Structure 1
Amino acid sequence: MIKCFLNRVDKMTYSVTFDAIKVSQPVGDFYCGVMKASDVTRISEADVRKIQHDDVGKYLGIQRELKPDRVKKISFYIKGIDATFPSSIILSINEENVSWDESSKSITLTSNEGEDDKIASILDGQHRLAGFNESNFEFENPDGSTSPFQLLVTIFVGADVSTQAGIFATVNLAQTKVNKSLVYDLQALAEARSPERTCHDIAVILNAEVKSPFYRSIKRLGVATPGVKGEFLTQATFVENVVKLISPDPKADRDHFLAESKFWRKNELSHLDRASLEKHFFRKAFIKDKDEVIASNLLNFFDAVRQKWPIAWSKGEKRSSLNKAIGFNALVRVFKDLYKIENSSFEWDKVISCERFLDHLSKCELDDQFFLELDPTSRSSKVIYDSIKKYYG
């Protein structure tokens, strides 16, 4: 149950009531419930003013500056077909603004006469909340109706600044960033088609095929596979490079196919103009569910690379910069150039042979030693690309 009402006073007073549960832990009592995203954003703020003169607050930086790029990405994510925030927004509210009804197990949050609605300080979730606005407070259901986006909230009442700082540190400083390769590996479990899932599937195939230049060379979970030696490329590096050949907006494509399965409707895919297809030349193959076209072209090109530089590409050669992420990044750029040369008419299903790729690479006078002597730093990726390109560009 969520009730929201406004009382007319000298300044509008805002009040919201919702079901909640009371939780007792060593830190003290707090309350958990469900609120509309619109209500949470209305009553809360990252109130730096409350703590900027407090040494604890200044030292821990309880409220961090919002990152516009991150807020923009979250706002876009909220509009997705399967957007979700399963973890709580954590708020701190003064006792005078909170009323707990033990009999009905409900909590009421109210702004006092003469004060604005911002009665809650955000301890965790400020970027998530900043991503909400009038365009995404509601979402569409499969039957076409709309529902308010709801959020789990955890409310600490009357917590002093040092307690707030401790909660902030516990929630944020102990978090472990999820390995990107693991995230891409989990794409295999997705029901809907997506550029990331396609690239993951291709990585798995090329990693498992004995004759592949990537045979047992891709770290599926981003870390070394037990019992396998010499893996030189993470799945994240592979997927993030190849997905750029398919889509300028992987999430929008994923939402398209997810909408088909969830809403039983077909939306028009975007970025099908010639300029987009010339840049993302595997886009049509992906849309037509012909992933083998993508895999075959990649297999043939990197087989040509292996034949041209067998030592530098070898998984056992640790000195090489070619068989590392920087080398792979550069080689994908070379692949794009050569594919366009061989397929100037941009036939979506054309597969370039290993021999044709090798014809181009054979003109390059660089030998294996060049890659063994090149420092494996991030800037070396451009050096590799430029050094190869001058022989065909």
Structure 2
Amino acid sequence: MEVINMPPIEFKCLEAQQPIGTVYIGVMDHEDLYFISYADVRRLELGQDNREVEDYIGIQRQLNTKREKDIGKYVNLVDATFPNSIILSVSSKDAEYDEEKQMMTIKYKDDVAKVLDGQHRIAGLKHYKKDDEKFQVIVSIYIDMDIEDQAIVFATINKEQKNVSNSHVQDLFAFAKDRSPQKTVHNIARALSQKEESPFFRKIKILGTANRKETETITQDTFAKNLLKYISSDPQSDRDFYKRNKDNPSNKLDLVEGKELQKLFLRNIFINDVKDIEIAQIIYNYFYVVDEKWPNAWRVIQANMILNKSTGFIALMRFFKNAYLSFDRIGDVITKEEFKTIFDKITLEESDFNKEKYVPGSTGIGDLYKDLLGQSGLD
């Protein structure tokens, strides 16, 4: 549908020559970009002469609504940014470039710019709520690009992209100046992995350290996300809160209570800024007892044993919630002696923590958690 009497969009553009041809690099307001762009979603049409190549129309993937929602939330954070360009293909019938003025003019229509890369970012920008602030987006525009080149650009971008490991993302929070749940769990992981008497000494794969140890069987990401879930249900929003209020330290997140406190039982300790060390102490005490009860299964690296690997650690962190809450003293540091009263009831032997009994993955995690729960009497 063409919008009547709407002037075309004009914006500054630089012209770049590349082997594939000319590309125009400019900056657009997000509202204009959202309106004129469309994604040519790849779909299969059957029953048309059975011509396989021609039957595949379009090159984009289906829009992931969860990803759109996540990006929609992200764009409203205080430090939201899209440093990479959205890639568009536009017909010369709908666009004109003034080389002397370095200005691009595009018709204000809702279907003139095909998205080759960035459809989820554009969809997320639909949820941008700050009417008083601009969100401008870098765009790379190809004019009259044929369908083959469009497909090649799309395929190349998505083939060459490499995901950053989650552990690396966690490690980057060390550089954050402002408080956040992510930084707290990162600091706890580092502290516990470096303390010689800690049950996690040289057991967590901390990025940025040389001389990897064979004893490091738990990734930083696995440790962080299994602790983070007891501190925050929305770490990004919490981080955004602290960043916005860094000049007003008296502003605090709201304490949780009731059912929410049962789920986020470490959150109120976290909200009290000076008590991160208490969260670390609770984890230390809990796993000190694990180490004491099953020293060989926890310390010794054996190919067939799972307690000191992801399967065992995640199951123990699930059981940690039941163990901590059983004392009905949310906010307190539960001592090693108190945690020991729970583990003394568990009859599992060190030899039980093998891959045959507890298959690596979600099944083994669930089975071990149920056994810990049942034998402790906390179910």
Same-fold status (TM-score > 0.5): yes
Contact 2:13 2:25 in 1 (8 A): yes
Q: How far off its partner does 1:173 sit?
A: 1.2
- 1:293 corresponding residue in structure 2: 278
Contact 2:40 2:58 in 1 (8 A): no
Question: Take 2:44 and 2:295, find their aligned partners in 1: how far apart are those partners?
Answer: 60
Q: How far off its partner does 1:160 sit?
A: 0.5
Amino acid at match of 2:69: K
Amino acid at match of 2:360: P
Taking structure 1 as reference, are residues 50 and 313 closer, same or farther at Cα in structure 2, changes over 3 Å only? Answer: closer
Q: How far off its partner does 1:221 sit?
A: 3.0
| Alignment pair present for 1:233 and 2:225 | no
The match for 2:153 among 160, 164, 167 is: 167
The match for 1:36 among 29, 49, 66 is: 29
- 1:156 corresponding residue in structure 2: 142
Q: How far off its partner does 1:130 sit?
A: 0.6
Question: Take 1:41 and 1:295, find their aligned partners in 2: how far apart are those partners?
Answer: 45
- 2:301 corresponding residue in structure 1: 316
Q: How far off its partner does 1:340 sit?
A: 0.9
Taking structure 1 as reference, are residues 178 and 56 closer, same or farther at Cα in structure 2, changes over 3 Å only? Answer: farther
Q: How far off its partner does 1:47 sit?
A: 2.4
Question: Take 1:299 and 1:288, find their aligned partners in 2: how far apart are those partners?
Answer: 19
Alignment of 1:10-159 (within 5 A): 11-48=4-41, 62-111=59-108, 116-133=109-126, 135-136=127-128, 138=130, 146-159=132-145
Stretch moving more, 373-382 or 33-42: 373-382
Question: Take 2:44 and 2:232, find their aligned partners in 1: how far apart are those partners?
Answer: 44
Amino acid at match of 1:220: I
Cα RMSD of the aligned pairs, angstroms, is 2.4
Stretch moving more, 43-52 or 229-238: 43-52
For each residue in 1:225-247, what CA deviation from the matched residue of structure 2 results, as whole angstroms up to 9, or x when unmatched? 53422211000001101011111
- 1:377 corresponding residue in structure 2: 361
Stretch moving more, 317-326 or 37-46: 317-326
- 2:374 corresponding residue in structure 1: 390
For each residue in 1:23-59, what CA deviation from the matched residue of structure 2 results, as whole angstroms up to 9, or x when unmatched? 0000000100100010000000002489979966866
Taking structure 1 as reference, are residues 49 and 305 closer, same or farther at Cα in structure 2, changes over 3 Å only? Answer: closer
Question: Take 1:330 and 1:50, find their aligned partners in 2: how far apart are those partners?
Answer: 41
Task: Structure 1: give runs of 5+ residues left out of the alignment.
Answer: 1-8, 140-145
Alignment of 1:349-360 (within 5 A): 350-360=332-342
Runs of 4+ displaced beyond 3 Å: 9-14, 48-61, 263-268
Taking structure 1 as reference, are residues 107 and 390 closer, same or farther at Cα in structure 2, changes over 3 Å only? Answer: same
Question: Take 2:88 and 2:3, find their aligned partners in 1: how far apart are those partners?
Answer: 27
Q: How far off its partner does 1:164 sit?
A: 0.3
- Report sequence identity in percent: 38
Name the SS of the counterpart of 1:39 in structure 2: helix
- TM-score scaled by structure 2? 0.91
Question: Take 2:55 and 2:206, find their aligned partners in 1: how far apart are those partners?
Answer: 41
Amino acid at match of 1:365: T
Contact 2:44 2:56 in 1 (8 A): no
Contact 1:21 1:32 in 2 (8 A): yes
Q: How far off its partner does 1:279 sit?
A: 1.6
Contact 2:10 2:106 in 1 (8 A): yes
Question: Take 2:23 and 2:136, find their aligned partners in 1: how far apart are those partners?
Answer: 19
Q: How far off its partner does 1:149 sit?
A: 0.5
The match for 1:212 among 198, 207, 210 is: 198
Question: Take 1:61 and 1:238, find their aligned partners in 2: how far apart are those partners?
Answer: 42
Name the SS of the counterpart of 2:22 in structure 1: strand
Name the SS of the counterpart of 2:8 in structure 1: strand
Name the SS of the counterpart of 1:336 in structure 2: helix
Amino acid at match of 1:283: R
Contact 1:311 1:317 in 2 (8 A): no
- 2:187 corresponding residue in structure 1: 201
Q: How far off its partner does 1:311 sit?
A: 1.7
Name the SS of the counterpart of 2:28 in structure 1: strand
Taking structure 1 as reference, are residues 169 and 381 closer, same or farther at Cα in structure 2, changes over 3 Å only? Answer: same
Taking structure 1 as reference, are residues 247 and 227 closer, same or farther at Cα in structure 2, changes over 3 Å only? Answer: closer
Stretch moving more, 57-66 or 19-28: 57-66
Contact 1:57 1:165 in 2 (8 A): no
Name the SS of the counterpart of 2:125 in structure 1: coil
For each residue in 1:294-345, what CA deviation from the matched residue of structure 2 results, as whole angstroms up to 9, or x when unmatched? 0000001001001111121124233211111121111011111111112x14
Amino acid at match of 1:285: I
- 1:252 corresponding residue in structure 2: 237
Contact 2:76 2:129 in 1 (8 A): no
For each residue in 1:76-98, what CA deviation from the matched residue of structure 2 results, as whole angstroms up to 9, or x when unmatched? 11111111110000000001111
Task: Structure 2: give runs of 5+ residues left out of the alignment.
Answer: none
Question: Take 1:387 and 1:50, find their aligned partners in 2: how far apart are those partners?
Answer: 47
For each residue in 1:112-168, what CA deviation from the matched residue of structure 2 results, as whole angstroms up to 9, or x when unmatched? xxxx431000000000101122x51636xxxxxx32110000000000000001111
Question: Take 1:18 and 1:327, find their aligned partners in 2: how far apart are those partners?
Answer: 56
Alignment of 1:332-343 (within 5 A): 332-342=317-327
Q: How far off its partner does 1:269 sit?
A: 2.4
Taking structure 1 as reference, are residues 50 and 96 closer, same or farther at Cα in structure 2, changes over 3 Å only? Answer: farther
Q: Aligned pair count?
A: 369
Contact 1:313 1:320 in 2 (8 A): no
- TM-score scaled by structure 1? 0.88
For each residue in 1:196-229, what CA deviation from the matched residue of structure 2 results, as whole angstroms up to 9, or x when unmatched? 100000000000011111111111239x953422
